[in-house]
Structure 1
Amino acid sequence: MMTDDSFEIFLVTAPGLEDALCAEAREKGFQDAQSTGGGVTIHGRWPDVWRANLELRGAARILARIGSFRAFHLAQLDKRSRKFPWGDVLRPDLPVKVEVTCKKSKIYHAGAAAQRIEKAITEELGAPISQQADVRLKVRIDDNLCTFSVDTSGESLHKRDHKEAVNKAPMRENLAAMFLRQCGFDGSEPILDPMCGSGTFPIEAAEIALGLNAGRTRSFAFQDLATFDADVWQEMRSAKPTSAPTIKFYGSDRDAGAIKMSQANAERAGVAAYTEFQMRSISELEPPEGPKGLVMVNPPYGARIGNKKLLYGLYGALGKTLLERFSGWRVGLVTSESSLAKATGLPFLPTGAPIANGGLKVRLFQTKPLK
């Protein structure tokens, strides 16, 4: 594959969030974005790969499809792997990790297939193979078609790298961004999270309102590829915030440690001036002065706590407080338990598909503005 050709780029996200990520990708200028199982496909060149990693908040990782060929047995895989233009994308001086999956193919032994591809890369390109390598080549052999993708992200994109302190059950940033989007948040209204933990929802909301790029402070695996242009990348990532909101984004929690974590994370993210965190119980919760907005909350649920029976009172108290004091505010609540959501007494709209989150299936429950 020539490096100046357009190719397929796959944006990975949690199943159930494909449409939300597709909408974000189109908003960011990837006009041909199409939802598919487990993610979104776009087409572009290497700078588009870099920009997708930098800007997209809902993606978990970005895969670049660098080529494909058919192979019906291991000898053919070996021969064609040796002719593949690895040097267009991979560097001979950096290690590579090869991961193979086989499905409905005459080549059914993933380990044997990986060995052939690894040998081809080592002997034809000169790059070493390492299970600890930052550069990962993902090979999918499906119906005898071998498709090669490079994981251009490295660590999962939910790791923004300006959030060091986390509580025991944090909401992943990419999921938080997509839940905010599904609730209609566009950066122009206040957000309040009454169980803010390490501050993910208010911080993510502040970054969106400021127009900050999600990956602005981290590094990526694509920086170790032969296709990388440091000058173009430096110019791309030096973009400044596009707006300065006149509103704030609020978090509260009954745990003093959570408030300290949230404040430290907001400081590192550069959004401390636009966020406000206070130690408060649910019964002390009051809406901030100013315009009405969105209450966004990820309360504890069964698997995170151990005994969900203890949680019905908490959810009930939350619903009572919101119904009594937050007229005009919308609510977005994420939980794995429909019965807990029901315990709030809030007038939730019909829910969408469940979303995989840390081994659990969670759902986003939403209301219209409360009366």
Structure 2
Amino acid sequence: MSTLTYIATATMGLEAIVAKELRQLGYEDLQVENGLVRFTGNQEALCRANLWLRTADRIKVEIGSFKVKSFDELFEQTKALPWPEFIPENGEFPVIGRSVKSTLHSVPDCQKIVKKAVVEKLKETYNTSWFEETGELYRIEVSLHKDVATLTLDSTGNGLHKRGYRPFHSRAPLKETLAAALIQLTNWHPDRPFVDPMCGSGTIPIEAAMIGKNIAPGSNRSFVSEYWEWMDSSIWENARIEAEDLAEYDRPLFVSGSDISHDMVELSQQNAEEIGLHNDIQFKQMQVTDLTAKQEYGVIICNPPYGERLEDKKEVAKLYKEMGKTFKSLSTWSYYVLTSDEQFEQRFGKQATKKRKLYNGNIKTDYYQYWGPKPPRV
């Protein structure tokens, strides 16, 4: 297994950012597709991708991919794959699936066929007729798209957005992966001030602090592939040592978050403390209209209420107008706003420099970007 093919899955619209992160890790053999990025690498690549990718959802090992239009073809081609190289005799291997625009559209039937084919393949190697599946988890996914079946093993476990620092969150929390993407789509540099004036449970400021200090987002959690028999445990250990060595824990930051709700501010502080960044982020209770700054050339990111419910629309329209007046006074700052409100620019009072379509869960949103002047060269 010197070289394997991996799939980094991503929310629609974030694929290019995931690809950029992979290139920064040193992986160049990339294929960017809707909702995923394929890349190749050794076992170390699996560990480093899980530890370092801030905007991907999970990392899968591709076992095989082939055209298929019948259940017999699905069975035979699945059985032909080298499953014993990946799944030990006691491994637990449930099968999940999905099918889009394919002849084989019954997902439960596809799952049953794949499970049966893998069992038959493992029987040949382990000379047994029964698998208790009491060992580590090797979750198989059969994904059918336009009659192409792709068989993968999930190496991540809980999605990569679960960094391990947010046991507490608000009712509608922003996913950590999207928060990291919002930051990476800005011109922020860790030497400049960063503010989220509607921080909720603190996700955006915490992600900014992790980026600013180069803390690997997966360094505070575990992954199912750490316990796989075919994975050399020393590779995982070395990848974690690398992450620790590259972290700049002593780097000073100017990151702050505020919220009109005292409870949200307390929640943010608890989450920052959970990951050890409570001394690096300043949280305070404050209305967005009270935002001022002595420093110049900072960056504001916020994910304000969208006004999805009819009764909230007037309040949200008023909020956006107030935001426009407040942010306008910060003449050297850049600011970025995520919202589903298509009338945002009119309410805010200024046309965005650029906007980008993104999905916040199932909600189609736009990311409005207002670029301030570049800071002078020192």
Report the equivalent of 2:286: 280
Q: Please state how far the C-alpha of 1:336 moved relative to its aligned partner.
A: 0.7
State yes or no: 1:297 paired with 2:302.
yes
State yes or no: 1:314 paired with 2:319.
yes
For residues 255 and 67 of structure 1, do their structure 2 counterparts lie closer, same or farther at Cα, with a shift above 3 Å needed? same
Q: Please state how far the C-alpha of 1:101 moved relative to its aligned partner.
A: 3.5
Report the equivalent of 2:125: none
Report the equivalent of 2:355: 351
Q: Please state how far the C-alpha of 1:291 moved relative to its aligned partner.
A: 4.5
What percent identity do the matched residue pairs reach?
29
Q: Find the partner of 2:232 among 229, 232, 243.
A: 229
Asked if 2 retains the 8 angstrom alpha-carbon contact of 1:18 and 1:36, the reply is yes
> Structure 1: 5+ residue runs without aligned partners?
none
**Segment of structure 1 superposing worse, 308-317 or 113-122:** 113-122
Once the two structures are superposed, residues 172-209 of structure 1 have per-residue CA deviations (whole angstroms, 9 ceiling, x without a partner) of 11111111111123433221000111111111111011
State yes or no: 1:365 paired with 2:368.
yes
State yes or no: 1:168 paired with 2:171.
yes
Asked if 2 retains the 8 angstrom alpha-carbon contact of 1:96 and 1:127, the reply is no
Q: Which amino acid in 1 is paired with 2:336?
A: G
State yes or no: 1:215 paired with 2:221.
no
Q: Please state how far the C-alpha of 1:229 moved relative to its aligned partner.
A: 2.0
Asked if 2 retains the 8 angstrom alpha-carbon contact of 1:169 and 1:304, the reply is no
Report the equivalent of 1:40: 37
Report the equivalent of 1:82: 79
Once the two structures are superposed, residues 326-361 of structure 1 have per-residue CA deviations (whole angstroms, 9 ceiling, x without a partner) of 120100100011213431223411312x21212100
Report the equivalent of 2:142: 139
Equivalent residue runs for 1:315-354 within 5 Å: 315-324=320-329, 326-352=330-356, 354=357
For residues 331 and 127 of structure 1, do their structure 2 counterparts lie closer, same or farther at Cα, with a shift above 3 Å needed? farther
For residues 256 and 80 of structure 1, do their structure 2 counterparts lie closer, same or farther at Cα, with a shift above 3 Å needed? same
Give me the CA root mean square deviation: 2.5
For residues 121 and 38 of structure 1, do their structure 2 counterparts lie closer, same or farther at Cα, with a shift above 3 Å needed? same
State yes or no: 1:66 paired with 2:66.
no
For residues 87 and 346 of structure 1, do their structure 2 counterparts lie closer, same or farther at Cα, with a shift above 3 Å needed? same
Asked if 2 retains the 8 angstrom alpha-carbon contact of 1:294 and 1:331, the reply is yes
Report the equivalent of 1:257: 263
Report the equivalent of 1:91: 88
Asked if 2 retains the 8 angstrom alpha-carbon contact of 1:57 and 1:214, the reply is yes
2:104 and 2:372 map into 1 onto residues whose CA distance is 56
Q: Find the partner of 1:200 among 190, 198, 203.
A: 203
The TM-score normalised by the length of structure 1 is 0.89
Asked if 2 retains the 8 angstrom alpha-carbon contact of 1:88 and 1:226, the reply is no
**Segment of structure 1 superposing worse, 45-54 or 140-149:** 140-149
The TM-score normalised by the length of structure 2 is 0.88
Specify the SS of the correspondent of 1:362. Answer: strand
Q: Please state how far the C-alpha of 1:105 moved relative to its aligned partner.
A: 5.4
Q: Please state how far the C-alpha of 1:8 moved relative to its aligned partner.
A: 2.2
Asked if 2 retains the 8 angstrom alpha-carbon contact of 1:121 and 1:127, the reply is no
For residues 306 and 216 of structure 1, do their structure 2 counterparts lie closer, same or farther at Cα, with a shift above 3 Å needed? farther
For residues 367 and 259 of structure 1, do their structure 2 counterparts lie closer, same or farther at Cα, with a shift above 3 Å needed? same
Specify the SS of the correspondent of 2:308. Answer: helix
Q: Please state how far the C-alpha of 1:305 moved relative to its aligned partner.
A: 8.4
2:351 and 2:373 map into 1 onto residues whose CA distance is 8
For residues 340 and 107 of structure 1, do their structure 2 counterparts lie closer, same or farther at Cα, with a shift above 3 Å needed? closer
Report the equivalent of 1:7: 4
1:346 and 1:245 map into 2 onto residues whose CA distance is 35
1:333 and 1:183 map into 2 onto residues whose CA distance is 11
Q: Which amino acid in 1 is paired with 2:281?
A: T
Q: Which amino acid in 2 is paired with 1:45?
A: N
Report the equivalent of 2:184: 181
Asked if 2 retains the 8 angstrom alpha-carbon contact of 1:293 and 1:330, the reply is yes
For residues 306 and 136 of structure 1, do their structure 2 counterparts lie closer, same or farther at Cα, with a shift above 3 Å needed? farther
2:266 and 2:104 map into 1 onto residues whose CA distance is 54
